[in-house]
Amino acid sequence: PRLGVCSLVICGLLAIIEAEVSPEAIFRSVYRPEDLKAEWKRSRMREQEVDLDVEFSDEDKKRYKEKVRNMFYHAYDGYLQHAYPRDELKPLTCEGHDTWGSFSLTLVDALDTLLVLGNVTEFKRASRLVLQSVRTDVDINVSVFETNIRIVGGLLAAHMLQGVAGDAPAGWPCEGELLSLAHRMGERLLPAFNTATGMPYGTVNLKYGVHKDETPITCTAGVGTLIIEFAALSRLTGDERFEKVATRALDSLFKSKSPINLVGNHINVQTGQWTATDSGIGAGVDSYFEYLVKGALLFRKPRLMKQYYDLEDAILKYVRRGDWFHWVSMSSGLTSHEGELFQSLEAFWPGMLTLIGDVGDAYRILMNYADLIERYGFPPEFWDIKTKEPRSGRDAYPLRPEVVESMMYVYRATGDRKILKLAAMVVDAIDAFARTPCGYSTVKVKSGVKENRMESFFLAETIKYLYLLFDDDNFLHNSHSGRVVQTERGSCVVEAGGWIFNTEAHPLDAGIINCCSANKAQDRANIEELLSDESLSFLLDDLLDTLGGDTTITVKSISKDAEALNDEEKSAYIKQQYGSEEIEYEVDEKLKAEAEAEKEKKEKEQEEKERREKFFKDDDEIEEEEKKKKIAEIVEKWEQREGKKVELPVEIKKEEKREEQFVKASPYSLPSPREKRKRQREVEGASVQIELGR
């Protein structure tokens, strides 16, 4: 008799309880009856119906939607109870551990999933926790790639989704605390781009920059998976540095391709020489192709799409074999020693193809994975195409999302419910074989042995894509309506369905990006009118003369226009210091010369320091109120003379001394106003806030 999906699952679970057999054995007996084998030939096209002998009804969709929701809260609650504020949960021992930088990573990654599931209250509460706990100035080495896609991407998505949550802050969508935190984190990653090629280091210290002994070897994906988050940062904030460095990195990487248009796996970011020359679409390379396509769509960059098509032509010629993708030499196109190998990370490819309209090929490749889903319920990390067995030592399933990601895209493009049946198998397999008392674990597909890790992407990606498969009415699927929001520059249409996921499944709204990008462009145009009046420079000069030469003063804000002015000055300073070519790498010899020059300068300023001490001594000797009083007197005179208002109190802070063993933290810091005295700023009708540092 024909069994429904629910009956099949119950049979499978009972068999597990009674016999304690492996996932492979269960899925062979339950989901792979002999009379269905022929239906799953990899050459079958969409027109050739694949009948799993069961129907997948609307009621089934509702049931699996709720099952996925319950799986999320089982893992999310387990993390909060046993692991927060650590990065991730150890699901077998129910304890937390830090993996990518101690940022409460799982919480950041899960923020937007909470809204996808409709939990506005918890989204707001969790967002407050993130703002309270995540710091960007800590002395810790982090992966540029992982920090970008998980932290920066997660914060950007959460910021954009505040409108959906109905709790948007003042100035949204172009301002907000979550956006500011993402911007600060992005700034901490910028020193990684200080290389001869413009391609970033793989690791950076958030406080001190790139260590002088840091390896210049970086994987291809680490170079090419930045444009989504960095260009979004630039267009939301007006800070052009991010989009420029990410674009430069992409261009440099593309220029490094082989004569037959293939890219390798690892590259030296200082020399541009490839150090691992295997070419494929899996680990170490995958999201590079994804970001060319998504970057072209999200930011309307046809040049990126052309780069993708040039690379895709070579992939189809040398890498693809039937509906599998091999690993080949990037110089010759010949299959490498690891060639006939499927990696689960490759399963993103069909989903990406749907974004460029190649739905038929996407469907065919996705159906090629059906045998693995039928056999195990989820794909192993590595699968030997020739032997049709998991690769020894790489036979685990770490709760990866790629195969269900492609299911979601292809299902949305085709409406074929066979895909929902496959997705239901994945849900049942995860819940049956990976569930623990406090979460879900990595699991070996043949033995069923669990490993003590639940990566944050399980809640950010896997659960989200599964839920979206069964929830046709989710707001992320909306492509027919939107809403109008008012900004300082006029009205914008947002949330109209133009969502693009980054590679961590964090959704970014094209409408919001376009809205803020237009606003910032108008701000830059208005700044052209702010360059004739020297009054602000006079105020800064008065403060400097009074407080002494060792004090630094920067303009923190002049209403909205000054923020954009500050960004424009940073961009101008980059161009002045480094030109339009790639940024030169600053070696230790330069730092040494700078230190010696600074020492000589301080010796010559000794007399000036003695005079200054009459106004400012150590913080322990002079009360804060006396400082504010002195500053207030100066500012008051300036206000009376100029007829403009300055916001008080000013902020006074000390700079921390950098460790000498690190290279210069960033090439993007602004020169002091005294050094750039010729920069004239008009502040007519503006509100000014000054920041002082000693």
The model's confidence at residue 615, banded by pLDDT at 50, 70 and 90, is low
| pLDDT tier, 604 (very low <50, low <70, confident <90, very high otherwise) | confident
Token digits of residue 5: 């999906």
Q: 478: closest CA among 170, 67, 163? A: 163
State what percent of residues in the chain have pLDDT above 70.
70
Decide which of 30 and 191 is more confident: 191
pLDDT at 324: 95
Higher pLDDT, 106 or 101: 106
586 vs 119, 192, 215, 663, 675, CA distance in Å?
Answer: 48, 12, 15, 7, 21
Structure confidence by residue, pLDDT tens digits, 19-48: 344 444 433 333 232 332 233 233 333 333
Question: Which pair of structure tokens corresponds to residue 356?
Answer: 């460029």
Residue 261 one-letter amino acid: N
> Distance (Å, rounded) from C-alpha 345 to C-alpha 68?
22
pLDDT tens-place string over residues 209-266: 999 999 999 999 999 999 999 999 999 999 999 999 999 999 999 999 999 999 999 9
Question: Is 402 considered catalytic here?
Answer: yes
Catalytic residue from among 24, 60, 87, 146: 146
For residues 546-554, give the mean pLDDT. Answer: 57
Instruction: Quickly count: other Cβ atoms within 10 Å of residue 460's Cβ.
Output: 28
Alpha-helical runs (H) found in 380-457: 402-414, 418-429, 457
Q: What is the dihedral of CA 228, 230, 235, 236, to 10 degrees?
A: 100
Query: What residues form the annotated binding site?
Result: 503
Can you tell me the distance from the alpha carbon of 268 to that of 214, in angstroms, rounded to the nearest whole number? 12
Q: Name the region of 300 (left: φ>0; alpha: ψ -120 to 50; beta: rest).
A: left
Beta carbons within 8 Å of 428's beta carbon, 6+ residues apart = 9, 12, 377
Task: Determine the distance from the C-alpha atom of residue 555 to the mean position of all C-alpha atoms in its chain, rounded to a whole number.
Answer: 30
pLDDT at 610: 66
Mutual orientation of helices 418-429 and 402-414 as an angle, nearest 10°?
160
The predicted pLDDT at position 559 comes to: 42
State the DSSP code for 318: I
- pLDDT tens digits for 664-680? 334 334 444 444 444 44
Our answer to whether residue 87 is catalytic in this structure is no
pLDDT at 116 over 70: yes
545 pLDDT tier (thresholds 50, 70, 90): low
User: Mean pLDDT over residues 475-491, rounded?
Assistant: 81
For the cut 50, the answer to whether the pLDDT of residue 563 exceeds it is no
Question: Which among 342, 230, 306, 218 has a CA at the least distance from the CA of 268?
Answer: 218
Identify the residue with better confidence: 185 or 166: 185
pLDDT confidence of 411, banded at 50, 70, 90?
A: very high
Q: Is 381 noted as a catalytic residue in this protein?
A: yes
Element (H, E) at 320: strand 320-321
Other Cβ atoms within 10 Å of 343 Cβ, number: 24
Do residues 97 and 105 lie in contact, with contact meaning Cβ atoms separated by under 8 Å?
A: no
* Window from 18-27, 350-359, 517-526 with minimum mean pLDDT: 18-27
| 3-state SS, residue 177 | helix
Bigger pLDDT: 661 vs 430? 430
Instruction: Say how many Å lie between the first and final Cα of the chain, rounded.
Output: 82
Q: Write down the mean pLDDT value for the chain.
A: 80
Inform me whether the pLDDT recorded for 693 exceeds 50.
no
- Looking at residue 619, what is its pLDDT? 47
Which residues make Cβ contacts (< 8 Å) with residue 56, sequence separation at least 6?
A: 5, 417, 418, 420, 421, 424
Apex 330 CA angle, 324 and 336, nearest 5: 55
Residue ranges of the binding site for Ca(2+): 503
User: b/e for 462-492, b at 16 or more Cβ within 10 A?
Assistant: bbbbbbbbbbeebebeeeeebeebebebeeb
**623, pLDDT greater than 70:** no
Give CA–CA dist 587/563, Å, rounded.
32
* The pLDDT value given to residue 539: 60
Residue 650 in this model has a pLDDT that exceeds 50: no
- 521 or 216, which is more confident? 216
pLDDT value, residue 624: 59
Which of the residues 229, 243, 381, 504 is marked catalytic? Answer: 381
Average pLDDT over residues 499-521: 90
Q: Is the pLDDT of residue 332 over 90?
A: yes
Catalytic residue among 87, 239, 278, 402: 402
Hey, how many other C-beta atoms are within 10 angstroms of the C-beta on 113?
A: 24
Average pLDDT on 304-333 reads 97
**Model confidence band, residue 590 (pLDDT cutoffs 50, 70, 90):** low
Neighbours of 625 (CB within 10 A): 9
pLDDT exceeds cutoff 70 at 394: yes
Please check whether residue 432 is in contact with residue 30, taking contact to mean a CB–CB distance below 8 angstroms. no
Task: Find the catalytic residue in 112, 239, 286, 428.
Answer: 286
Q: What pLDDT, on a 0 to 100 scale, did the predictor assign at position 11?
A: 39
User: How confident is residue 652, by pLDDT bands cut at 50, 70 and 90?
Assistant: very low
